[in-house]
Structure 1
Amino acid sequence: MDLGLTGRTVVVTGASSGVGLETARMLLGEGANVAACARDGDRLARALDGLPGRLHTGACDVLDDVAVREFVEQAAETFGGVDGVVNNAGRSLMARLDETEPQQWRDELDLKIFSVLHVVRAALPWLRRSDAGAVVNVNAILARQPEARLAATSAARAALLNLTKTLAGELAADAVRVNSVCLGLIDTGQWRRRHEASGSTSDFEAWSAGLAADRGIPLGRLGSADEVAYAIVALLSPRASYITGSALDVGGGIARYA
């Protein structure tokens, strides 16, 4: 199926690894122009080296409003506009309520909220001119199903889900769609590092299967970055033109909320 992304320009943040990298790769495969950024420009360049397609890259801290505007303007100048945005930059703070300091809460909220607001505001003039403007915010099932061991991250994710709904309502008049993709446990470098640090004698496949069982994932495994990327790319497609304000779970059935 032709997703109608050929020649369209998409900004992808946090593109040096995991979901962001796979999303950039998939978009290029669909014929889209990709403007990819990450804090570590060298790592980003290595990750994307050799990928075919029209690609613009740059180091950019999504919490730096000026740097974000400069990057988005460069992307629009390079490709003649911006049609889509994937807000993927983020991290998780593994800490319970009594293990977190006030500044850690501020940092989590800053990252989850302003990493999105800065990019959307910078891209909005071009998104409004597009005939298929779309924003996808990469979030987590934690937004609706908090975990005690991720107290601050769960709360910040919930705030981002709320913000995404607000953006969807506000930008609907401009025909700019805004949706969420909410992740469960995804096999990225983060989980592989935790496996290495665990001291387990099991290989990653066995260790991650045990993790999936412990977390109650019905499909019995972790997801993959490309499975998430597919959901993101599908929501960016003009074929999804009647979908906005939605949250699509990619979590192997782990969600237990109504």
Structure 2
Amino acid sequence: MDLQLTDRTVVVSGASSGVGLATTRMLIAEGARIAACARDLDRLRAAIDSIDGADPARIHLAACDVTDRDEVESFIGAAAGRFGGIDGLVCNAGRSLMAPLARTTDEQIRAEFDLKIFGSWNLVRAARGALAAADRGAVVNVNAILSRQPEPRLAVTSAARAALLNLTHSMAEDLAADGTRVNSVLLGLVDTGQWRRRFEASGTALDYDAWSAEIAADRGIALGRFGTAEEVAFPIVTLLSPLSGYTTGTSIDVGGGVGRYI
């Protein structure tokens, strides 16, 4: 199926690993041009170089802290200048703070909200003009089911993600006047480097598959396993497609059935 992404320019933040890298790989396979950023440029370059079919002439890479407005505007300006515009934006930079409220500092709380809110808003406002000039511009905020179903073990991350979900709906309403669509993909537990590091630090005698299956059971994941980055990337790329041109202000759960809300 042709998703009509050939020669469209898509910006992806947090592209050096996990969901961001998987999304970038899928977009390249669909023929898109890529502007990708991450905090560590060397790591980003190595990751992108590992993608089959990655053409340096069609890829713009930059180190960028998405919480820094000036850095984001410089990155977006350079990407739009190089490729003549921007058609899509994937706001993916993120992390989770595994800590109950009683063990969370004020600095950690501020950092979580800073990353979740400005990690999206800085990119969207910098790219807004370019997206408005595009044919069916699209934004996808990579968020989490925690935004609707908070966990005490991730209290502040849950709250920050709820704020981003709310903001995404406001963005969708605001940018509709430009013809730009804004949607969310809400992920559950995904097998990325973050979980691999937690496994290595756990001291468990189990192998990774058994350890992750135990966590999946504890969290009530109906499919009984973690998801893969590729399983999250697919709905992201689909929402960027012009074929999704009548979809805005909504969200797609990619959580193996962990969502319990209606």
TM-score range, shorter chain: over 0.9
Q: Bigger CA drift: 98-107 or 83-92?
A: 98-107
Map 1:124-163; keep pairs closer than 5 Å.
124-163=128-167
| 2:237 alignment partner in structure 1 | 233
Name the structure 1 match of 2:64. Answer: 60
- 2:11 match: 11
Task: Show the counterpart of 1:171.
Answer: 175
Correspondence 1:113 to 2:117: yes
Give how far 1:108 is off: 0.8
1:188-203 superposed matches below 5 A: 188-203=192-207
The CA deviation string for residues 40-72 of structure 1, in whole angstroms up to 9 with x for no partner, is 111101111143232110100001111111111
Q: What is the RMSD computed on CA atoms of the aligned residues?
A: 0.8
Residue 27 of structure 1 aligns with an amino acid whose one-letter code is L
Distance 1:173 1:39 in 2: 32
- Tell me the TM-score normalized by structure 1: 0.98
Residue 32 of structure 1, CA deviation: 0.2
Alignment of 1:122 with 2:126, yes or no, is: yes
Percent same amino acid among aligned pairs?
A: 64
- Following the alignment from structure 1 to structure 2, what is the Cα–Cα distance between the partners of residues 129 and 66? 22
User: 2:189 corresponds to which residue?
Assistant: 185
Where does residue 257 of structure 1 map in the other structure?
Answer: 261
Distance 2:101 2:74 in 1: 37
Q: Match of 1:20, as an amino acid? A: G
1:57-98 Cα shifts (integer Å, max 9, x gaps): 010000111111111111111111000000000111111111
Any stretches of 5+ residues in structure 2 without a counterpart?
Answer: none
Q: Counterpart of 1:29?
A: 29
Residue type matched to 1:30 in 2? E
Measure the CA separation in 1 of the matches of 2:144 and 2:240: 18
Distance 1:90 1:162 in 2: 17
**C-alpha distance in 1, partners of 2:22/2:248?**
23
Which SS does the other structure have where 2:102 is aligned? helix
Give structure 1 stretches of 5+ with no counterpart: none
